[in-house]
Chain A
Amino acid sequence: MNNKFCGITRKMSMLGSFTVFFSLFLSAQDAFLDDTVKINEVIITSHKVNRFPSGYKIIRLDTTLLNENSHESLSAVLARNTGISVKSYGLSGLSTPSFRGTGASHTLIQWNNIAINNPMLGQSDISLIPAGLFDEVEILSGGASMITGNGGIGGTINVMNKPSWSEGTFIVLNPVAGSFGRYTGLAKVKTGNSHFQSVTRAYLQYGKNDFTYMNRAISSIPVKERMTNSESLGRGLVQELYFRRNRNSLSARMWYQNSDRNLPASMLTGTASANETQFDESLRTVLNYEGNKGWSEYFLTASYNLANLNYTNKLASIYSDNRSGSLVFKAGFQHRLNNFIIARTILEDENSWVSSVNYSDDRMGRNLASLTIITETRSLGRINGSLILKEMMDQKKLLVPDFSGGLQYRLSGTQNYYIKGSYSRSTKVPTMNDLYWNPGGNPDLKNEISNGAELTLDMVQKISGSFSLKFNTTLFSNAISNLIQWVPGPFTYWTAENAGKVNTMGAESAFSAEYASGRLSAKLDLNYSLTKASRTGSLISDDDMKGKQLIYIPVHSANSSLHVRYSRFYSVLASSYTGRRYTVADNSSYLPDYIINSITVGYEIVKNQNKYNIGFLADNILNAAYESVAWYPQPGRSFSLKINIQLKL
């Protein structure tokens, strides 16, 4: 593998990035003025049920961040702002997340607490999820995943739409034009009062994605080439209706989306490109009722989802038409037993089906039901704890119960310093492809089992009325047994087997500093992740993979961002570092580390309740040449012009 990208230049650029950030941050402190203009925030109210008990680490990406990145996919937002490792095949290619060294199918992707993973692959292409369509992203690691759903033994990413009960009608228009023929348009209409709210969001994205890159596969000296077969067109519509009366609320949400894209070939195939295309289409609906009575809360949720995936490879004459759907019912009841103990019960039933030419039957279905019981203490002095028990029933088979226990200790009686810890045992059932793909699917597969623990130090410090600091660091460990892999069988095809064990361990740290005074406000975020992930069990003797870092899992990753706003001007400096990723199992070759730096500058006018915002983004400003997946180039330096107009009618 070519190691030319790794070297002094890279170290210098990273050092430079952080230096610039810190110096800007420090100089900003000297320039604080009295006339405060705070960064506008959208106030969102959250459901009382489904919140998280003590002892677990929850990360939230808020509306402000999602709005800033409304033209981006969830893939880009996660890669730049969290410790989640994202594997991307380029601007219009597949993109999947990995939590703490686990696989993409170990990550549960939810929309408003409903699983949207493709039941065939058990994973979700997060490049198809536009950040601008949502209000918040919850990121749950370890045992916290057991609370909102099933099977997220790596973690859960929950994209959410939430009501804002402000009066009046607002219209938001958010067009963005950028390099490589990329255009996005987002429109949002919100209207209502304190009892009823309607939010409509429409999204349109087109990208020619014809960036140039250096092809290192065809010559000893890389050759400049232009990306071909990379055009993409995406459309989305989200409709939300919210009703509220007293302490009860009813919501109905619908999300339709389609994506028509060409899949770019790798550098290796070049002119032998198969002209691959993929059309994804999905319709998702959720109806939710939440009620309160005395010390009790409850919810009822029904969701119906349909998805089509049509893959075409003209060269290989593959025309693969796959349809899937799910019907989900959830019900939850929470009761405060006394001043200290809360008990919660969640029932879930997910009935999913797949119709695919690749299965022996035209239509294959499965039913997964679960009962989750959560008991937690609150207001119990400095110590609080929680216990989660989950019983799943796959088809008609009861599984060994999962469980998780969490503890939280407040270090100081006056400060928000906490130590949190949890231990969890959780189960993931095989995907439909693992079970039924023809040939090679294996209906006798065992479930994958995760045994994980995490310990978090969480500190929030208010230095002064205008300056606050946050810091948290987490140590984690996870062992996954019965790992499902496709391995060569005795015939000419591969089969799904429980092929080993994986151990992951590492640390995550995050630091945040916020300042707001006068006309100046600033926020600095730093994140770092250390992930060691290796296989410990194997089907073969003399396994050279044992103890080696899993492929495409970086040991080190980090990102930072600095938001500075002065009066009507604002800027965002962001930098993300992805460490070396091994590309073969014995770690003999790897993709070098890379750093992506970006800068956004903008100007915002607020007049009455109307806002006019224009921003200019320069991404990958040092024009780093990098690959997330080997031989699939990522774009170099690019520019975007972003306009955001919010009108109150």
Chain B
Amino acid sequence: MKNSLLLTLVLFLFISCTKDPDNDNDTFLSGNGIFLLNEGNFMGGNGSISFYSYDSLKIFNDLFAGINGRPLGDVPNSLAMTGERIYVVVNNSGKIEVIDKNNLESVATISKLKAPRNIGIISSSKAYVTSLYSDSITVLDLANNSVSGYINIKKTSEAIAVIRNRAYVSNWVGGNKIFVLDTDNNKVIDSVEVAMEPESLVIDKDKNLWVLCNGGWKREYSAELISVNTSTNEIARRLVFPDRNSSPSCLQIDGSGSTLYFLSSGIFKLKTDASAIPLTPFIPQGGRYFYKLGINPVNGDIVTTDAADFQQNGQLLIYKNNGELSVSAKAEIIPGMMIFRLNDDFSK
């Protein structure tokens, strides 16, 4: 018995660690395509950028970390492109990563921002950034990649849309207003009371502002789709969702500025002159979880993301404008907002 006990001691396991094989050495390809933000898990620090290439019909994942040797940050929420730069708003890291749109190399990091959400490009040298927690809009100097000032709107902010020398900013969580900012003077000049929790904004071909109000999480109010005349800042039309339980999000508009799209357990589509909210989705969600939405401004592709269970890698889904699914590509965790990089040679 003594021997058997000593034998068990000898058999006592010792540990070593081995390293996983390196990831595929995929390279980022230039050309026409879609930059896709993957939000990653909250506090997981695994937000990332993917690129779907219209040329190779392949998706390239985890580009930022692969190229820059560091993580993108925690919960990249939105992105915008102007000139040669892409501005990625990283919400829970309180920063904006400025990157080169051709190679995704980091150009600068604008940090010390309070819960930034979305960015509105005002000009080649100025941008506004909304905030989930701050009562101010942050003004960015894009020439120096720095903060140049703040505009106190006394409310938190979410979506932003820019037209002429006006920026429209929504007060989302618990709010019901759109603030109108003069972009020449960086001042609040007006506000529009819309409906509960204006979540997303777009501008149509007639320069009307469309506001998607999701009604609030308590479901005390119906969601509404509201049109605001940007010349008078007055409400032009209100389309009330027939089902109180509808919780729409992510309003988008096509390249012609005449067709609106949004998510509400499926993809809905309606003309800007429609008289009512459609009762059924243009593209049903099925067993997926449609999370964010984008419309190719050139060919009208309807691009959405399936966030699966928000814990594992989701998918980028591209539907033709007739609703036919054409691409299903594995992205990363919680694929979210996107922008299109389409060169002049991109064909419809």
Q: Are A6 and B19 in contact (CB under 8 A)?
A: yes
Write out the residue numbers on chain B whose beta carbons fall within 8 Å of the beta carbon of A469: 5, 9
- Are A526's CB and B5's CB within 8 A? no
Contact with B along A11-26 (1 / 0, CB 8 A): 1001000100000000
Report the separation of the CA atoms of residues A577 and B5 in the bound assembly, to the nearest whole angstrom: 24
Known contacts A14-B15, A269-B94, A585-B312: does B214 contact A492 (CB below 8 Å)?
yes
Report whether B309 and A539 are in contact in the complex, using a CB–CB cutoff of 8 Å: yes
Query: Complex Cα distance A588/B41, Å?
Result: 13
Cross-chain contact B313 with A218 (CB below 8 angstroms): no
Give every chain B residue within 8 A of A316 (Cβ-Cβ): 115, 132-133
CB distance from B312 to the nearest CB of A (A): 4
Q: How far is the CB of B75 from chain A (nearest CB, A)?
A: 9
Q: Is the CB of B115 within 8 A of A315?
A: yes
Contact A488 B310 (CB under 8 A): yes
List chain A residues, Cβ under 8 A from B12: 509, 511, 526, 528
With both chains docked as a complex, state the minimum distance between the C-beta of A211 and any C-beta of chain B, in angstroms: 20
B69, B73, B133: the one within 8 Å of A317 (CB)? B133
Query: Digit string of B13-29 for contact with A (CB within 8 Å is 1, else 0)?
Result: 11111011000000000
Q: Are A556 and B8 in contact (CB under 8 A)?
A: no
How far does the alpha carbon of A511 sit from the alpha carbon of B93 in the complex, in Å? 46
From A271, which residue of chain B is reached at the shortest CB distance?
A: B112
B8: contacting residue among A221, A459, A589, A593, CB under 8 A: A459
Quick one: CB contact mask for A349-364 with B, threshold 8 Å, 1 for yes? 0000000000000000
In contact, A593 and B17 (Cβ under 8 angstroms)? yes
Give the distance in Å from the alpha carbon of A316 to the alpha carbon of B156 in the complex: 10
Q: Which of B1, B71, B112 has the most CB of A within 10 A?
A: B71
Residues of B within 8 A of A649 (CB): none
Query: At the interface, yes or no: B43 with Cβ under 8 Å from chain A?
Result: yes
Within 8 A of B (CB), among A442-488: 459, 461, 463, 469, 471, 473, 487-488
Known: A6-B17, A219-B70. A487 touches B309 (CB 8 A): yes
Partner of A577 from B15, B92, B112, B219 at Cβ < 8 Å: B15
Interface residue B83 (Cβ < 8 Å from any Cβ of A) = no
Contact mask for chain A residues 586-599; partner B; CB cutoff 8 A; 1 contact, 0 none = 10110011000000
Q: Hey, which chain B residues are within 8 Å of A417, CB to CB?
A: 1
Q: Is the CB–CB distance between A271 and B94 below 8 Å?
A: yes
Interface string of B25-57 (1 = CB under 8 A from A): 000000000000000010111100000000000
Kindly state whether residue A631 has any CB partner on chain B within 8 Å.
yes
Across the interface, B307 reaches (CB within 8 A) one of A3, A488, A593, namely A488
How many chain A residues touch B (CB < 8 A): the figure is: 69
Q: Is B125 an interface residue (CB 8 A)?
A: no
Give chain B nearest CB distance to A77 CB in angstroms. Answer: 21
CA distance A7 to B132 in the complex (A): 41
Q: Which residues of A contact B109 (CB under 8 A)?
A: 218
Contact check, A268 vs B93: say whether CB atoms are below 8 A apart.
yes
Whether the pair A473, B133 counts as a contact (CB closer than 8 A) is no
Check if B74 sits within 8 Å of A268, measured CB to CB.
Answer: yes
Which residues of chain B are within 8 angstroms of A14 by Cβ–Cβ distance?
Answer: 15-16
Q: B70 near A545 (CB under 8 angstroms)?
A: no
Chain A contacts with B in 142-182, Cβ cutoff 8 A:
none
Q: Which residue of B lies closest to A414 (CB)?
A: B1
B217 in contact with A493 (CB, 8 Å): yes
Contact A586 B17 (CB under 8 A): no
Contact of A544 with B313 in the complex, beta carbons under 8 Å? yes
Contacts of B227 in A (CB 8 A): none
Closest Cβ of chain A to B63, distance in Å, is 14
Cα-based distance from A268 to B247 in the complex (angstroms): 31
Which residues of chain B are within 8 angstroms of A487 by Cβ–Cβ distance? 309-310
Contact of B130 with A by CB under 8 A: no
B169 at interface, CB cutoff 8 A: no
Within 8 A of A (CB), among B304-342: 307-313, 333
> Closest residue of chain A to B43, judged by CB?
A266
Residues of B within 8 A of A490 (CB): 245, 247, 265
**Residues of A contacting B15 with CB < 8 Å?**
14, 528, 556, 558, 577, 579, 593
* Chain B residues whose CB sits within 8 angstroms of the CB of A586 once the complex forms: 312-313
- Cα-based distance from A471 to B113 in the complex (angstroms): 56
Say yes or no: is A367 at the interface (Cβ < 8 Å to chain B).
no
Residue pair B45, A592 in contact (C-beta under 8 Å): no
Judge if A336 is at the interface, Cβ distance under 8 Å: no
Q: Which residues of A contact B245 (CB under 8 A)?
A: 490
Give the complex CA separation of A386 and B185 in angstroms: 81
Q: Is B289 an interface residue (CB 8 A)?
A: yes
13 contacts between A and B (CB under 8 A): A3-B20, A7-B19, A14-B16, A269-B93, A271-B112, A316-B115, A487-B309, A509-B12, A511-B9, A541-B287, A543-B308, A584-B312, A589-B46
Contacts A268-B74, A272-B93 supplied; 13 other A-B pairs, CB < 8 Å: A7-B19, A218-B109, A221-B69, A267-B45, A268-B92, A271-B111, A459-B8, A461-B5, A469-B5, A509-B12, A526-B12, A538-B309, A579-B15
On A, residues with C-beta under 8 Å from B are 1, 3, 6-7, 10-11, 14, 18, 216-221, 266-272, 315-317, 412, 415, 417, 439, 459, 461, 463, 469, 471, 473, 487-488, 490-493, 499, 509, 511, 526, 528, 530, 538-545, 556, 558, 577, 579-580, 583-586, 588-589, 592-593, 630-631
